[in-house]
Structure 1
């Protein structure tokens, strides 16, 4: 069967989830009228890439090693940190200045926290939910894998799954923006 015309080689899906795609982090979810207690999870991450074309000359849609390297790096950046939602609409997040060693968070209910700055992962999200963490990780993994490289490999969609506990996970799937694939 000719691999260039075979329908068996026109659509691919690659999924990678390893024990090393993990991070342990603290967080709490806060929204209008509600704040969870501060707690932590042992998060697990998985990545799925979808493409429409034949396999590359090397026989891969993408080398698993590329995905593993990027995911390990992204997870390591969050490991053993407090996940701070920088764009929260109910938390006041501040530090005195660039030399301050602490991040102060004041909640809508009047409670407050002070964390060492180096222990905080300042994330561009509104809520520290698994769903928004999945969106953030999607963006960071896309940067690491390089959208142009993915386009060259025929990959058009990426999905990132984040589990905070067995049986509790969120998946974010989004087509890689066309302009990112052409940049």
Structure 2
């Protein structure tokens, strides 16, 4: 007889679950310097008191394939928190532009319009007056407010859920998932929640719903010299 108090889960933290990216965290009254991390991702999928007839909670191979794809899509970008409440972000998706140049007969008093493709830019104006301009193709626009490990874990969770498919998870009795994003050894954040229903899917990944509206308390320590 099956013991209903038991529960199965699987945990994956492979060396291939990684991505390199640059970012800075900004919130009212504070902005980090631009820097980067070698991020790593791990996940735990919580099943039921039974495993499938195939002997699995889920096939490791399927989960690994999806996780590697998610990490690859985040690799070597500047992470842009498009929902930031302190950064003014202007996105130019690019298009055709025209440059002036000499005519073929070198009569430089006559302008010839040379058509070129403008790759686009992302301009970020910061609260402290700093201004950054990045090539659009080097930026990953994310539906988060801060590019912290906590909010990146929410985003990675949403992408893993999309890749694994809710129906597939439900058919295997997976009820919850936990995602950990690490920015360096011993420094990580974890997001855990039940697998959202179709009705609540959009709300489940609205990062603002997880952020308190309370004032930011003063820190009891200085972080100006913190490097990693």
Residues 180 and 158 from structure 1, CA distance in 2 versus in 1: closer, same or farther, beyond 3 angstroms? farther
Match of 2:128 in 1: 109
Give 1:24's match in structure 2, choosing from 20, 25, 28. Answer: 20
Give 1:147's match in structure 2, choosing from 138, 142, 166. Answer: 166
Match of 2:31 in 1: 35
CA distance in 1 between partners of 2:172 and 2:18 (Å):
26
Q: Does 1:157 align with 2:176?
A: yes
SS at match of 1:95: strand
CA distance in 2 between partners of 1:36 and 1:165 (Å):
17
Give 1:169's match in structure 2, choosing from 148, 166, 188. Answer: 188
Match of 1:130 in 2: 149
Question: What stretches of structure 1 move > 2 A for 4+ residues in a row?
Answer: 95-100, 178-181
The answer to whether the Cα contact below 8 Å between 1:31 and 1:89 also exists between their aligned partners in 2 is: yes
Residues 113 and 25 from structure 1, CA distance in 2 versus in 1: closer, same or farther, beyond 3 angstroms? same
CA distance in 2 between partners of 1:80 and 1:178 (Å):
32
* CA shift for structure 1 position 6: 2.3
The answer to whether the Cα contact below 8 Å between 2:93 and 2:136 also exists between their aligned partners in 1 is: no
CA distance in 1 between partners of 2:133 and 2:81 (Å):
14
Say which one has the larger Rg: 2
Match of 2:71 in 1: 75
RMSD over aligned Cα, in angstroms? 1.7
The answer to whether the Cα contact below 8 Å between 1:78 and 1:121 also exists between their aligned partners in 2 is: yes
Aligned residues: 177
Structure 2 unaligned spans of 5+: 96-118, 201-228
Structure with larger RCO (C-alpha < 8 A, sep 6+): 1
CA distance in 1 between partners of 2:198 and 2:17 (Å):
28
CA distance in 1 between partners of 2:131 and 2:88 (Å):
9
Give 2:82's match in structure 1, choosing from 74, 82, 86. Answer: 86
1:117-145 residue CA offsets vs partner (Å, 9 max, x unmatched): 11111000000001000000000101000
Match of 2:48 in 1: 52
1:51-99 residue CA offsets vs partner (Å, 9 max, x unmatched): 1142111110000011100110000011000010000000011124553
The answer to whether the Cα contact below 8 Å between 1:103 and 1:114 also exists between their aligned partners in 2 is: yes
Give 1:63's match in structure 2, choosing from 59, 64, 67. Answer: 59
CA distance in 2 between partners of 1:10 and 1:180 (Å):
29
Query: What is the TM-score when the length of structure 2 is the normalising length?
Result: 0.74
The answer to whether the Cα contact below 8 Å between 1:25 and 1:40 also exists between their aligned partners in 2 is: yes
